[in-house]
Structure 1
Amino acid sequence: MVVQVLNSGDLRGGEVFALRLANELGFRKFITRFVILDGVGHRALRSAGYVSDVNVRLPRVFRWIWASRRIARQSRLVGKKKFIVQANIGDTLWAGVLASLFIGKKRMALVYRHGNISSYWLSGSRVRRCIYRWLFEQCDVIATLSPETHTDLKEIFPGLRVEVCEIPNGVPFPKGHGAVRPSLCREVILHVGAFVPEKNHAGLLRVFSNVLRARPEAELWLVGEGTEMLAAQQLADELKIAPKVFFLGRRDDVPELMSQAKVFLLPSFVEGQPAVVIEAMLMSLPVVAYDVGSLRSMLGDDRGVLVPARDEHRAAQEVVKLLGANSAEWNSMCSNAKVYAEDRYAMSVVADKFAELYERLAVAR
């Protein structure tokens, strides 16, 4: 049995991956259960496995304790067998470590899925680094997403006494993958992401405003919801670009939207290894992104366009260049990205790696 510990009951990046992984592992005879730190589990999670969630507001420490006790309760279902707990980024690590202390290493193996650049949030705090070194060393395995997260973890915590491996994000091949892209008449720039500060929608709109000066026929499609949406709509009005910006809200047809776009734009301040970029690569949609998180290993070697973080002028230049690129240049980049994504990020391949890891940990003493 595998217990996936999630930060939220909403279907966001880490939660979507855990759901997809549970579905793939179901074909390999693994039983998955979900423990959620905050909120009510989405119906899709409930269809994939038993969900234990909390729908009342509690201080963070109490949520960690509550979740660790729920994990301990799941251990009764497997008797004396060893089971796997996977903490998926953020506060889930605390809940996983507390559960390990309650249950013991002989009954439970703890995997931490580490998706962020540690130096973003641990630099300059010696006490915090000491705390997280201890937390990490309570894990059996830390599974990093990319070469960037792997190297950064080793540099921040030299001599870390825990096994560290690299298992990337994975996505199922989207509908329309492999199809020949239609000849596009409209110059659509697409962005998919929650309206939260780290996604930098204000910068995105300023980049698009610069693009319009060179490509007045361009359109910006924004998919997602969140606390920053109203501010983004107001900024679009202030920049006098509102007629060219379309706020599409939450959508279930992102692959179809990708097939109609010419560029995917992602000027985030912070990213892990975004699944939406993998989907764009699989859909032969060229990506322009800030060089943060794991995006360098994803988009390097002419698989996309990386721009120094916060360089809005350069980002606009690269978008304009792609909108006006000839078909040979455009197809070359798309082909490189698609082949790389198919080989590295297929959900079935990633699930095989996790299954091998779980099976090894389940029999380890």
Structure 2
Amino acid sequence: MINILHIIHRYRGDYPLLNLQVRLDPRRFRTVICFMSGENDGKNQLDALGYKTYYLGLKGKNLRFSNVPLLLKLKRIIESENVQVVNCQQHRSTPIGVLAAMLARPKPAVLATLHGLGTAKTWRRRAFNWLLYRRLHRIIGISKGVSADVVASNWGLSEERTVTIQNGLEYDRFPAALEKNAARSRFAPGQADGFWFGTMGRLSEVKNHRNLILGFAHMAERFPAANLLIAGEGELRPELEGLIAAKGLTERVHLLGFRRDIPEFLKALDAFLLPSLREGLPLALLEAMASGLPVIASRVGGIPEVFGDAQIGLLVSPESPEEIGEALAEVAGSSAQRLQSWGQAARRRAVEDFSAARMIAAYEQVYTDAALSLRRQGPGDPTSGL
């Protein structure tokens, strides 16, 4: 039995992707999860599924690798749970997990799972990472784009130290059984006609809603019945509301706020948009593809590898509202046959190549290799497992 500890910066509520990542073969693996900050809201499915979960409840300012009491708490968890493999989720958890593992006896192997791009923008961060990453058994990138970015932006890091495990999901909820016009009546009553574009994500700079709205305005005169639905909430909402009004699009661009009915939202659309400035491997894109939607998405990060060679839509430069607008116009003007072909290919691509089963099997292999690395190292090795 291999005991695995996930160290996570903060509990922000139930996270379906993590719930899938820990669903390993129970005959071979036992998983423990530790959230260093955030309050237990009683809604975490990991608890309901019987996983041992620690909520340390620390304040954000105390999440530092110099916090000795925190390191000692994690050390005690590692030792009491007989942990052989530590997986530090995202960069902020990694130095804390590495130091806690160094204090533990015996020492576990340590992995870091990185989800985003641009984690080493300054020379100070690169120098820090140069010291930190030497202590890791492997760095896991959730897309080939993330893995390539980690290698390219850090000093002396070989490709052999990284492994890519692409995100995967279960797609039973997609597409929703609801009829399209019934779905549309939920989000923009009385406007069932025309071509419907949609996107979902936090209203923040990185999601690039500003250029999306400008691109939609660019194509709006050619397609006067088109609608753009934006699901999500965030700090840019007032600015985006002002931009929509300034472009005369208040009847055609709909800010829906935070939504939980994502399958129904996607059912209402004719095409899905993801114009982000940066992405690792976006789950929203996979969900839209599983719903059978053609997609228009940015040519950044892990998005092109999600497309692969499949004909599922169009890739655009996120910096160009004009290019986004032309892509919207091309898709809105496409034949029903072309859109159907794209949508069918998108669903096949998501279900066959980005499944939860494939992702879980890949994590099981990495954890097995990490545990075997401990056995190959003698008990007297001071860096055993690190």
Q: TM-score with structure 1 length normalisation?
A: 0.87
Distance 2:103 2:116 in 1: 27
Distance 1:231 1:7 in 2: 30
Distance 2:204 2:56 in 1: 24
More helix by share: 1
1:293 deviates by: 0.9
Distance 1:59 1:188 in 2: 46
Distance 2:58 2:230 in 1: 30
The answer to whether the aligner puts 1:293 opposite 2:301 as a matched pair is: yes
Distance 1:215 1:65 in 2: 61
Distance 2:255 2:67 in 1: 36
Per-residue deviation, residues 271-323 of structure 1 (Å, max 9, x unmatched): 11101101111111111112111111112432331112311111111112112
The 5 A counterparts of 1:40-55 are 40-41=39-40, 43-44=43-44, 45-48=46-49, 49=51, 50-54=53-57
Per-residue deviation, residues 161-197 of structure 1 (Å, max 9, x unmatched): 6632111011111413497996984422111101222
The answer to whether the aligner puts 1:199 opposite 2:207 as a matched pair is: yes
- Report the equivalent of 1:171: 169
Q: 1:133 aligns with which of 123, 130, 134?
A: 130
Most deviating of 203-212 and 280-289: 203-212
- Report the equivalent of 1:152: 149
Distance 1:20 1:61 in 2: 28
1:55 deviates by: 5.2
- Report the equivalent of 1:224: 232
The answer on whether the counterparts of 2:65 and 2:71 sit within 8 Å (CA) in structure 1 is: no
The answer to whether the aligner puts 1:330 opposite 2:319 as a matched pair is: no
Letter of the aligned partner of 1:133 in structure 2? W
The answer on whether the counterparts of 2:196 and 2:270 sit within 8 Å (CA) in structure 1 is: yes
Letter of the aligned partner of 2:163 in structure 1? C
Percent identical pairs in the alignment equals: 21
- Report the equivalent of 1:115: 115
- Report the equivalent of 1:357: 366
Most deviating of 173-182 and 267-276: 173-182
Letter of the aligned partner of 1:111 in structure 2? L
| C-alpha spacing 1:353/1:300, structure 2 compared with 1 (3 Å) | closer
Distance 2:295 2:329 in 1: 12
The number of residues matched between the two structures is: 356
The 5 A counterparts of 1:1-365 are 1-11=3-13, 15-22=15-22, 24-25=23-24, 30-41=29-40, 43-44=43-44, 45-48=46-49, 49=51, 50-54=53-57, 56-61=59-64, 68-79=71-82, 82-103=83-104, 106-117=106-117, 120-123=118-121, 125-157=122-154, 159-160=156-157, 163-177=161-175, 185-301=193-309, 302-365=311-374
1:220 deviates by: 1.7
> Which of structures 1 and 2 has the bigger CA Rg?
2
Most deviating of 296-305 and 276-285: 296-305
The answer on whether the counterparts of 1:38 and 1:55 sit within 8 Å (CA) in structure 2 is: yes
The answer on whether the counterparts of 2:193 and 2:225 sit within 8 Å (CA) in structure 1 is: no
The DSSP-based 3-state class of the residue aligned with 2:85 is strand
The answer on whether the counterparts of 1:289 and 1:307 sit within 8 Å (CA) in structure 2 is: yes
Q: Which has the higher contact order (CA 8 A, sep 6+)?
A: 2
Unaligned stretches of 5+ residues in structure 1: none
1:219 deviates by: 1.5
The DSSP-based 3-state class of the residue aligned with 1:222 is strand
Distance 1:176 1:205 in 2: 27
The answer on whether the counterparts of 1:64 and 1:92 sit within 8 Å (CA) in structure 2 is: no
The DSSP-based 3-state class of the residue aligned with 1:225 is coil
Letter of the aligned partner of 2:116 in structure 1? N
1:114 deviates by: 2.1
The DSSP-based 3-state class of the residue aligned with 2:61 is coil
1:159 deviates by: 4.5
